[in-house]
Amino acid sequence: MNTTLQEEKKQVRLSWQELANTLLQERSIKIASDQTLIVHQIDPSDFLSLVEENNAQAKVQLFASMLRRFSMEISFEGLITLGSFNLSDYSWQMTPGEKGFIQIHAKPATMRKPLAEVISFLSKLPVGQAIVLRAQQDLFLEEISSDAMFDYYQHCQNDSDPLAREAGQDQMFVASSPQLQESGRLLKIYGLNAKQVNRTIDAGAGGVLFTPIGNEEFKEPRLVLGLIDPSAAS
């Protein structure tokens, strides 16, 4: 009887929805070496796909893709020993491997939007109003001119001054947007509660990835997007 109670205490039993809610709120969940994660009430269609997948790594990737439906990006730390499935409650067991723990990390999914769509939306807002993304959420702006991105890259290579780089970013957006050219306004992307904002040009995908960077002081960095008049940028 004592053994049974001890085994029950070692179980971390969460429904599929409870797991998703925990990751959305806490951003991670850790399973220690003496614990077993049991995820139950998995959607029957997903459950069938998990059972039928023979490759262990593919099972974990499928599991992550299911969680991405909740607008999260998922990563794993530690090693996972995949356990049994139970049809009666549509559950799946996972225990830590040789590293002694499993940690599932979650962050908001990257917002992927064409530059023109973002500018169109912002232009409908009252003057001075901006969009604030979720904490730690990245932004990938698509459909930016390849020539404009190359010019911006060259600009950053030749000048490390933050203000000069911001001016180069302004030029990149204006060169890629007839709407900005016509309105005379500028698209600004700032960090809120952030140490800095990293920018990664992906010419192949035709866009730029913006990532808010935090630290011990700024633990919930966010991106802020807005349109301003050039006179307000100085």
Distance separating alpha carbons of residues 72 and 27, to the nearest angstrom: 9
Distance separating alpha carbons of residues 188 and 227, to the nearest angstrom: 6
- pTM of the complete model: 0.77
In 3-state terms, what secondary structure has residue 2? helix
Distance separating alpha carbons of residues 65 and 170, to the nearest angstrom: 36
Given phi > 0 = left and psi -120 to 50 = alpha, else beta, which region is 184? left
Structure tokens at 141: 């702006």
Q: Are 78 and 170 within one domain?
A: no
Find the domain containing 181 and state its range. 111-233
Q: Are 122 and 214 within one domain?
A: yes
Q: Are 119 and 50 within one domain?
A: no
pLDDT at site 1 = 36
Whether residue 208 contacts residue 147, with contact meaning beta carbons closer than 8 Å, is answered with no
Whether residue 159 contacts residue 195, with contact meaning beta carbons closer than 8 Å, is answered with no
Q: Are 228 and 115 within one domain?
A: yes
Name which of 112, 93, 117, 130 is nearest 13 in CA terms. Answer: 93
Distance separating alpha carbons of residues 152 and 144, to the nearest angstrom: 11
Give the end of a domain, one of 108, 131, 149: 108
pLDDT at site 5 = 38
Whether residue 208 contacts residue 201, with contact meaning beta carbons closer than 8 Å, is answered with yes
Q: Are 134 and 226 within one domain?
A: yes
Q: Are 47 and 121 within one domain?
A: no
Does residue 159 surpass a pLDDT of 90?
Answer: no
Q: Are 150 and 94 within one domain?
A: no
pLDDT at site 188 = 95
Tell me: the pLDDT tens digits for 171-220?
999 999 999 999 999 999 999 999 999 999 998 888 999 999 988 888 88
Contacts of 228 (CB under 8 A, 6+ apart): 185, 186, 188
Tell me: the pLDDT tens digits for 80-133?
899 999 999 999 999 998 778 999 999 999 999 999 999 999 999 988 899 999
Write down the H helix ranges in 115-204. Answer: 115-123, 146-158, 162-176, 178-183
Between 126 and 2, whose confidence is greater? 126
Give the end of a domain, one of 108, 136, 160: 108
